[in-house]
Amino acid sequence: MSSRSIITQLTKGISRENPVFVLLLGLCPVLGVTSTAINGLGMGLATTFVLIMSNIVISLIKHLIPSKVRIPSFIVVIASFVTVVDLLMAGYLPALHEQLGLFIPLIVVNCIVLGRAESFASRNDLFPAFLDGVSMGIGFTYALVILGGIRELLGSYSLFGLKILEGDGLLVFVLAPGAFIALGFIIAFFEWRKSIATKAKKAA
């Protein structure tokens, strides 16, 4: 693998194939946990761990699994890692676990994880699959932190728990509708940037 393709692999999750803003995958936890930036970060890191580990294991066992049972096998692998994260977090990060508790088991059904297993890890070798997990994980985490940061800033005038402005903030951004509104604007921004890039390419 050349160093250039390693970089391409690593950056694809951040913008070109960002799981949240471009692929629009796994929106349930995205909308559910992002009421604060810290929650977004915790959920993003937990998902990143599951993505990397399941990508590694699935790319290792891909030749041993008959294609008819690949989906159940992948789900078992993913569910095991999610349970591991759940147990470790309950034991060592109880405060965060209390905040995210409800959403951790939902990582199992997050379409990003199964999506990457099916479309990438099961067709590639260990190293690219690992990079894919890192890249998608970073992209997912950064999307959650941005969304959580915007909602926390507008909804309670604070960021990462630090008060920025006095006052109570706009309640709607703390509630679920605020997640949809904020996500809509971010996606619009990404699309707008993409259209500018395409125009520039055409003009050149």
Least separation in angstroms between CB 68 and other proteins:
4
| Residue 120 sits in the site that holds other proteins (CB under 8 A) | yes
Q: Dihedrals φ, ψ of 108, to 5°?
A: -55, -45
Q: Contacting other proteins (CB under 8 A), which of 54, 124, 145, 149?
A: 124
Q: Which one-letter amino acid corresponds to residue 154?
A: L
How far separated are the first and last CA of the chain, in Å rounded? 31
| Residues from 138 through 197 that contact other proteins (CB under 8 A) | 155-156, 168-169, 171, 174-175
| Residues from 40 through 99 that contact other proteins (CB under 8 A) | 61-70, 72-73, 76-77, 79-80, 83-84, 87-88, 90-92, 94
Question: Radius of gyration over alpha carbons of the chain, in Å?
Answer: 18
Q: Which residue has the tokens 């259209």?
A: 195
- The closest of 87, 43, 72, 78 to 57, measured between CA atoms, is 78
Least separation in angstroms between CB 152 and other proteins:
11
Rounded CA separation 46/43 (Å):
5
**Structure tokens of 116?**
């990457």
Among 21-29, 39-47, 123-131, 183-191, which window interacts with other proteins (CB under 8 A)? Answer: 123-131
| Residue 123 sits in the site that holds other proteins (CB under 8 A) | yes
In the complex with other proteins, the residue whose CB is nearer, 92 or 203, is 92
| Residue 35 sits in the site that holds other proteins (CB under 8 A) | yes
